[in-house]
Amino acid sequence: MLLSWLTGLAAGIVFLHFLQKLVFPYFWEDFWYLLKVVRYGIRVEMYKLKGELCTVLDRFLSLAQKQPQKPFIIFEGDIHTYQDVDKRSSRVAHVFLNHSTLKRGDTVALLMSNEPDFVHVWFGLAKLGCVVAFLNSNIRSNSLLHCIRCCEPRALVVGADLLGTVEEILPNLPEGITVWGMNDSVPQGVTSLKEKLSTASDKPVPRSYHVVSSLKAPHLYIFTSGTTGATCVLKKKFSASQFWNDCRKYNVTVFQYIGELCRYLCKQPKREGEKDHRVRLAVGNGVRSDVWREFLDRFGNIKMCELYGATEGNICFMNHTGKIGSVGRTNFFYKLLFVFDLIKYDFQKDEPTRNEQGWCIHVKKGEPGLLISRVNEKNPFFGYAGSKKHTEKKLLYDVFKKGDVYFNTGDLLVQDRDNFLYFWDRIGDTFRWKGENVATTEVADIIGMLDFIQETNVYGVTVPDYEGKAGMASIILKPNKSLDLEKVYEQVLTFLPAYACPRFLRIQEKMETTGTFKLQKFQLAEEGFSPLKISDPLYFMDNLKKSYVPLTKELYNQILLGEVKL
């Protein structure tokens, strides 16, 4: 009797196991992932109840006490231990304590390349309770000034290699900003931070200066390997040819990627021993399915943890199962924690589609839809620094009922029958190229400064075998004015970072607009840059000739074949 009962129980368990595998194949992966999410949420709530949060800096200082001699940063062969970083960041803090009027809560802008002093300055300012605004080291001129004005800093700290960039804009900086340079020799109007560091104290700064009690503190949203006790291997710039050599040399186990990085690695000539490394995990976003497969085939069984999210957003996904091509996965329980939807989008009107009652419309599984996320107390949207206009543009009101508010990600995603999510396209006023976000309005404004340009419409176009979209500018000339291609080239190269410069130009006689008088981008992007389909004059950015040149059928084919570098 007992034996038959046990046999039946075992058979039932086996049946349920196979049934679960058949009907809910990702049950356990989802369960453990959601358990981690819930545990993290509980920890955050506990910190909130205590009224004192553990920040990145607090975690770093705790680890510096436990493992002072462990390498924290390895940069160009030099080792910087936890103790080294702690002491030098304290020197930075004491310089600003003794030689500036900075106080807790002030914002300081940081313009530096990849180097240890980036972390030293960041942590040093954080020890004083200052908010640090990281500026893109590729931008310059008006774009840089715009970013500085938006974050309203009391001070600006500049790396030695970027002092020339800042010197150009010094006369136009807002009043009240002191500029500090990480070099012994600095331009007039700049104070040498490096010089003062040599005599500064490295005594610990009292924790009372930087204790945080609110989750809304801006510096909480930046993370580094210091939160886990790991060692960070840092390089000035990415090198595809040296990447795996560096991984082997420094025993790298995890690296962060953008899609372009993986593509560059796959484009390298094949070598022996490509799987001879200790890398077990890669974390990032934007890698295409074909590149993903090739990457794993060539470089071994590396777990790819593809993510979806934005620094300003209130929704994120993580591909915790390793499904190739997917940015993440959802289920009933995840949507209870993070309420999001995919809705229909009208490409002609450049806005979400609404039904006769005025409500947005859900898309079916397998159809691309605009990703939106509900804004509430648990999932807030804090907005953009210094720009209420841009903050409002990211919000959708009265979406499914009166009074509801959703964050508009500006991204189109597809959800399949197994609830995996896939990135489909980006809409609106930005697109991605070379792993960077390009603001179309900024590019259009720069081109529009030329005296022979009447109107400019900037958008992204798809180029085979490239991640993201290449910039293209549709231009209308002023009456009785002629196009100066060399001036356009000089203008964009002078005032825009390299990744934002339009690769293609299209000269039109008139601009098409939507029903709400927005410039029509969708149709232009669909038409692309093919001289076989477009009768308008087309031009290509030629860096060798330092000008835009006519985009001929021959040049077009060379671009498609990858014979011309973009």
| pLDDT tens for each residue of 111-140 | 999 999 999 999 999 999 999 999 988 888
Q: 130-134, 341-345, 423-427: which has the highest mean pLDDT?
A: 341-345
Lowest mean pLDDT across 46-60, 170-184, 493-507:
46-60
Minimal CA–CA distance to 468: which of 512, 414, 411, 531?
411
Q: How far is it, in rounded angstroms, from Cα 265 to Cα 514?
A: 41
Q: Please, are residues 473 and 505 in contact by the beta-carbon 8 Å criterion?
A: yes
Average pLDDT rounded to a whole number, residues 542-551: 95
pLDDT value at position 446?
92
pLDDT value at position 519?
77
Q: Sorting pLDDT into bands at 50, 70 and 90, what band is 4? A: low
Give the burial string for 186-208 (b: 16+ CB within 10 Å, else e): beeebbebbebbeebebeebeee
pLDDT value at position 218?
58
Lowest mean pLDDT across 35-44, 219-228, 301-310:
219-228
Q: Please, are residues 415 and 342 in contact by the beta-carbon 8 Å criterion?
A: yes
Average pLDDT rounded to a whole number, residues 431-451: 90
pLDDT value at position 203?
96
Average pLDDT rounded to a whole number, residues 300-321: 91
pLDDT value at position 553?
95
CA-angle at 101, arms to 99 and 106, nearest 5°: 125
Q: Does the pLDDT of residue 344 top 90, yes or no?
A: yes
Q: Please, are residues 59 and 227 in contact by the beta-carbon 8 Å criterion?
A: yes
Minimal CA–CA distance to 130: which of 54, 58, 209?
209
Q: Sorting pLDDT into bands at 50, 70 and 90, what band is 42? A: confident
Q: Higher-confidence residue: 44 or 161?
A: 161
pLDDT value at position 1?
55
Amino acid occupying residue 7: T
Q: Please, are residues 29 and 321 in contact by the beta-carbon 8 Å criterion?
A: yes
CA-angle at 335, arms to 330 and 338, nearest 5°: 110
pLDDT value at position 224?
33
Q: What are the structure tokens assigned to 3, written together?
A: 């034996």
Share of the chain above pLDDT 70, in %: 91
Share of the chain above pLDDT 90, in %: 65
Q: Sorting pLDDT into bands at 50, 70 and 90, what band is 228? A: low
Q: Does the pLDDT of residue 244 top 90, yes or no?
A: yes
CA-angle at 169, arms to 165 and 172, nearest 5°: 170
Q: How far is it, in rounded angstroms, from Cα 408 to Cα 370?
A: 8
Q: Does the pLDDT of residue 21 top 90, yes or no?
A: no
The DSSP call for residue 291 is: H
254-258, strands of its sheet edge to edge: 254-258, 281-285, 303-308, 317-318
Conformational region of residue 159, where left means phi above 0, alpha means psi within -120 to 50, and beta covers everything else: beta
Q: Does the pLDDT of residue 51 top 50, yes or no?
A: yes
Q: How far is it, in rounded angstroms, from Cα 119 to Cα 73?
A: 9
The alpha carbon of 192 is separated from its chain's Cα centroid by a whole number of angstroms, namely: 31
Q: What number of other Cβ atoms are within 10 A of residue 385's Cβ?
A: 17
pLDDT value at position 220?
36
pLDDT value at position 14?
52
Q: Does the pLDDT of residue 547 top 60, yes or no?
A: yes
Average pLDDT rounded to a whole number, residues 93-115: 94
**What CA–CA distances, in Å, run from 165 to 144, 170, 193, 235, 320?**
9, 9, 17, 21, 41
Q: How far is it, in rounded angstroms, from Cα 187 to Cα 333?
A: 57
pLDDT value at position 216?
62
Average pLDDT rounded to a whole number, residues 95-105: 94
Q: Higher-confidence residue: 190 or 45?
A: 190
Q: What number of other Cβ atoms are within 10 A of residue 305's Cβ?
A: 18
Q: Does the pLDDT of residue 485 top 80, yes or no?
A: yes
Q: Give 404-448 as a 3 state SS string.
A: CEEEEEEEEEEECCCCEEEEEEECCCEEEECCEEEEHHHHHHHHH
The DSSP call for residue 105 is: T
Give the burial string for 242-267 (b: 16+ CB within 10 Å, else e): ebbeebeeeebebbebbbbbbbbbbe
pLDDT value at position 226?
40
- Tens of pLDDT, residue by residue over 269-306, are 999 999 999 999 999 998 989 899 999 999 999 999 99
pLDDT value at position 222?
32
- Domains of the chain in start order, with CATH, are 56-232 (3.40.50.980), 249-426 (3.40.50.12780), 430-560 (3.30.300.30)
Give the β-pairing of 131-134 and 107-111: parallel
Q: Please, are residues 343 and 353 in contact by the beta-carbon 8 Å criterion?
A: yes
Conformational region of residue 174, where left means phi above 0, alpha means psi within -120 to 50, and beta covers everything else: beta
| Burial class of residue 549 (count of CB atoms within 10 Å of its CB; 0-12, 13-18, 19+) | middle
Lowest mean pLDDT across 65-69, 139-143, 188-192:
139-143
Q: Higher-confidence residue: 291 or 55?
A: 291
Q: Does the pLDDT of residue 385 top 90, yes or no?
A: no
Q: Sorting pLDDT into bands at 50, 70 and 90, what band is 143? A: confident
pLDDT value at position 10?
57
**What CA–CA distances, in Å, run from 539 to 396, 450, 565?**
38, 17, 15
Q: Sorting pLDDT into bands at 50, 70 and 90, what band is 29? A: confident
Give the β-pairing of 345-346 and 340-343: unpaired
Average pLDDT rounded to a whole number, residues 197-209: 93
Mean pLDDT across the chain, nearest whole number? 88
Q: Does the pLDDT of residue 457 top 90, yes or no?
A: yes
Q: Does the pLDDT of residue 249 top 90, yes or no?
A: yes
pLDDT value at position 112?
95
Average pLDDT rounded to a whole number, residues 80-100: 97
